[in-house]
Amino acid sequence: MDVFNQTDLFSTDEVRKTEFDLPGADVTLFENFFSKEESDRLYTSLLNNTNWEQDQLLIYGKEIDLPRITAWYGDSNADESYATTKSKALPWTEDLLFIKKRIEKEVDVKFTRCLLNYYRNGEDSVNWHRDYNGEERKNTVISSVTFGATRPFQLKHATRKDLKRIDIPMVHGSLLIMQGATQENWLHKIPKTTKKILPRINLTFRWVS
Ligand X SMILES: O=C(O)CCC(=O)C(=O)O
| Rounded Cα gap, residues 48 and 83, in angstroms | 22
In the bound state with ligand X, the residue whose beta carbon lies nearer, of 115 and 171, is: 115
Cβ neighbors of 115 (< 8 A, separation 6 or more) are 70, 71, 72, 203, 204, 206
What are the start-end ranges of the H helices in the chain? 36-49, 94-106, 134-138, 182-185
Q: How many CB atoms lie within 10 A of CB 206?
A: 23
DSSP per-residue codes, 26-71: EEEEEETSS-HHHHHHHHHHHHHHS--B--EEEETTEEEE-SSEEE
For residue 202, state whether it binds ligand X (rule: CB under 6 A).
yes
Query: Which residues from 162-181 bind ligand X, rule CB under 6 A?
Result: none
Residue of 186, 190, 207, 208 that binds ligand X (CB under 6 A): 190
Give the number of residues in contact with ligand X, rule: CB under 6 A. Answer: 10
In the bound state with ligand X, the residue whose beta carbon lies nearer, of 11 and 81, is: 81
From the list Mn ion, ligand X, none, partner contacted by residue 202 (C-beta under 5 to 8 A by kind)? ligand X
For residue 7, state whether it binds ligand X (rule: CB under 6 A).
no
Query: Which residues from 136-155 bind ligand X, rule CB under 6 A?
Result: 144, 153
Residue of 42, 109, 126, 145 that binds ligand X (CB under 6 A): 126
- Among residues 6, 78, 79, the alpha carbon closest in space to that of 43 is found at 6
| Rounded Cα gap, residues 47 and 190, in angstroms | 19
Residue of 32, 117, 174, 179 that binds ligand X (CB under 6 A): 117
Residues in contact with Mn ion, shown as a per-residue x/- string from 110 to 149 under the rule CB under 5 A: ---------------------x------------------
* Length of the chain counted residue by residue: 209
Query: Which residues from 26-45 bind ligand X, rule CB under 6 A?
Result: none
Per CB under 6 A, residues contacting ligand X are 115, 117, 126, 131, 144, 153, 188, 190, 202, 204
